[in-house]
């Protein structure tokens, strides 16, 4: 087990010395149940010296997991002994980190959770406090940092850290230790919790509702997970009753979702009811969790009845058709005489017509530009167009016969099927393509496109 400590001069006005920030990062090897990477970070403010002190305990050995948990409890006990009313500050700690600690207390037979020193602390959970103020629980620490004007000196995200630690586990690289930039990411997490709390009371949070795009993304993510469950023939055979429930739910969800996208009217949207699903299957548990998260978001103010939603979709909308065949992506070069983005490479697509859904628009544009007959597979997400005047919907489209391309010269100069390696030869790429490729197709496409 390793313990590292940092101090940096920072003057806080509202945070007292009795607040202890807390966060953790971990990864398990589920294949052999022997591997673990665990990091616990704590931090406090010293008003006398105007310093923030952060300490991180970490281990890459499952045999040291008990030692790490005990170290954390000992640190809490020492802190509690110095303060009459200690407070434990976290982001979603009550829903994630504290239950994780409590599970270890029981499994490792350290002590009963109700007897631990954690119970001596007043819990300050920023995610719960944000929800209490805004009724918006679709929030991350990264979003809070942006709201409170706090810059992070790293491009890492929590999801990237999780992937990185899992990669280390799967490739048996724990002997190399935890990368410095991962440790620094957790250090910043703990420090930023204290900075956010210091600015909390003075910041008007009431207007920070979930955006329409964020809400649509959540609905779309839930629908795509339903599709994944229903595509699994193995699951259909083993869990016929559960999959029939998911099928009925997915059908109603798609109907409501398409109506919402066409009318752009959240007043009429109703999240369908998902009957109870009692299964330990990972994807079904994820589905229930996503549904409960979405259901917990209160779009309508209980007192006024008004929709609490930050609108960003009042711009004209367009759709892009993502067509893939044998590992290659279909790209077009726009005609040189067009007013918008002439001569640049991008995906087939165009603006919505009245009453169209994103899928209908993408399929129509593909037929108009290249005479390909396709069908919508799924909505992948949204991005913003070249000058920010359009909201673009990325739609995966399946085409049975890709050999029947007939280029419409009024809109398209040429087309190519490209691999990630070949996309760098397409010049110029339409601005925003790299970011979209990274988000919707993966880093290999984005890194190659960046060389374009």
- Tally of domains within the chain: 3
Q: How far apart are CA 243 and CA 237, in angstroms?
A: 9
d(CA 400, CA 366): 13
Q: How far apart are CA 103 and CA 105, in angstroms?
A: 5
Q: Confirm whether 310 is domain-assigned.
A: no
Instruction: Identify whether 309 is part of a domain.
Output: no
Tokens 């589920």 belong to which residue?
30
**Residues 190 and 231 placed together within one structural domain of the fold:** no
Structural domain range at position 19: 2-200
Q: Which of 166, 200, 234 is where one domain is finished?
A: 200
**Are residue 45 and residue 108 in the same domain, yes or no?**
yes
Looking at residue 281, what is its pLDDT? 83
Closest by CA to 344, choosing from 448, 449, 211, is 449
Query: Do 394 and 442 share a domain, yes or no?
Result: yes
Q: Distance between CA 368 and CA 381 in Å, rounded?
A: 22
- Is 206 part of any domain? no
In this structure, the answer to whether residues 21 and 162 fall within a common structural domain is yes
- Confidence (pLDDT) at 315: 66
Residue 423 contacts residue 329 (beta carbons within 8 Å): yes
Q: Are residues 107 and 241 in the same domain?
A: no
* Residues 354 and 437 placed together within one structural domain of the fold: yes
Q: Are residues 274 and 397 in the same domain?
A: no
- What is the pTM for the complete model shown? 0.68
Specify whether 61 is located in the same domain as 15.
yes
Q: Is residue 308 part of a domain?
A: no
Q: What backbone phi and psi angles, to 5 degrees, belong to 160?
A: -65, -40
Q: Which of 237, 261, 296 is the last residue of a domain?
A: 296
pLDDT for the residue numbered 386: 57
Same domain, 70 and 144: yes
CA of residue 159 relative to chain centroid, distance: 7
Residues 340 and 262 in one domain: no
Tokens 């003057």, residue located: 11
Domain boundary among 172, 200, 228: 200
The reported pLDDT for the residue numbered 30 is 45
Q: Are residues 157 and 237 in the same domain?
A: no
Q: Where are the beta strands (DSSP E) in 327-371?
A: 328-334, 345-346, 349-351
What is the CATH number for 355?
3.90.79.10
Identify whether residues 38 and 178 lie together within a single domain. yes
pLDDT at 173: 62
Distance of alpha carbon 69 from alpha carbon 168, whole angstroms: 22
Strand partners, 41: 23, 56
Q: Is 91 a domain residue?
A: yes
Residue pLDDT tens, the chain, 452 long = 999 999 999 999 999 999 999 999 887 644 445 567 889 999 999 999 999 999 999 988 888 889 999 999 999 999 999 999 999 999 999 989 999 999 999 999 999 999 999 999 999 999 999 988 887 878 889 999 999 999 887 777 777 777 777 777 666 666 667 888 889 999 999 999 999 999 998 888 877 888 888 888 889 889 989 988 888 877 777 788 888 999 999 999 988 888 887 777 788 788 999 999 888 788 898 899 899 988 888 887 777 877 888 877 666 788 999 999 998 999 999 999 988 889 999 999 998 988 888 899 999 999 999 999 999 988 888 887 656 666 889 999 999 999 889 999 999 999 999 998 888 888 888 877 877 888 888 767 766 555 55
């Amino acid at each position: 087990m390793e313990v590292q400590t940092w101090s940096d001069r920072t003057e806080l006005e509202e945070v007292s010395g009795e607040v202890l920030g807390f966060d953790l990062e971990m990864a398990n090897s589920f294949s052999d149940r022997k591997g673990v990477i665990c990091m616990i970070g704590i931090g406090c403010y010293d008003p006398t010296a105007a310093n923030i002190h952060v300490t991180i305990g970490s281990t890459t050995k499952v045999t040291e997991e008990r030692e790490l948990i005990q170290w954390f409890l000992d640190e809490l006990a020492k802190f509690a002994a110095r303060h009459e009313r200690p407070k434990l500050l976290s982001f979603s700690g009550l829903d994630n980190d504290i239950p994780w600690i409590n599970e270890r207390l029981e499994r490792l037979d350290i002590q009963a959770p109700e007897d631990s020193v954690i119970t001596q602390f007043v819990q300050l959970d920023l995610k719960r406090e944000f929800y209490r103020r805004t009724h918006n629980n679709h929030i991350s620490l990264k979003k809070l940092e942006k709201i409170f004007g706090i810059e992070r000196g790293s491009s890492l995200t929590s999801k990237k850290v999780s992937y990185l630690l899992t990669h280390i586990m799967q490739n048996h690289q724990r002997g190399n230790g935890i990368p410095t930039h991962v440790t620094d990411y957790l250090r910043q997490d703990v420090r930023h919790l204290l900075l956010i709390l210091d600015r909390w009371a003075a910041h008007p949070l009431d207007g920070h509702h979930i955006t329409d795009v964020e809400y649509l993304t959540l609905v779309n993510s839930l629908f795509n997970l339903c599709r994944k469950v229903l595509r699994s023939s193995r699951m259909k055979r083993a869990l016929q009753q559960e999959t029939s429930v998911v099928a009925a739910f997915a059908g109603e969800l798609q109907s409501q979702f398409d109506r919402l996208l066409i009318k752009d009217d959240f007043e009429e949207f109703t999240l369908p009811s998902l009957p109870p699903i009692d299964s330990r299957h990972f994807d079904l548990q994820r589905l229930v969790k996503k549904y409960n998260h979405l259901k917990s978001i209160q779009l309508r103010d209980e007192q006024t009845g008004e929709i609490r939603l930050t609108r960003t979709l009042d711009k004209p909308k367009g759709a892009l058709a993502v067509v893939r065949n044998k590992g290659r992506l279909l790209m077009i070069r726009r005609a040189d005489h067009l007013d918008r983005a002439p001569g640049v490479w991008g995906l087939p697509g165009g603006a919505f017509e009245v009453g169209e859904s994103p899928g209908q628009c993408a399929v129509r544009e593909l037929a108009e530009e290249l005479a390909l007959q396709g069908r919508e597979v799924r909505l992948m997400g949204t991005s913003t167009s070249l000058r920010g005047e359009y909201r673009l919907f990325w739609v995966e489209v399946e085409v049975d016969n890709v050999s029947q391309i007939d280029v419409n010269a009024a809109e398209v100069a040429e087309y190519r099927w490209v691999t990630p390696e070949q996309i760098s030869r397409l010049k110029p790429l339409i601005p925003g393509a790299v970011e979209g490729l990274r988000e919707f197709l993966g880093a290999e496409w984005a890194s190659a496109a960046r060389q374009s």
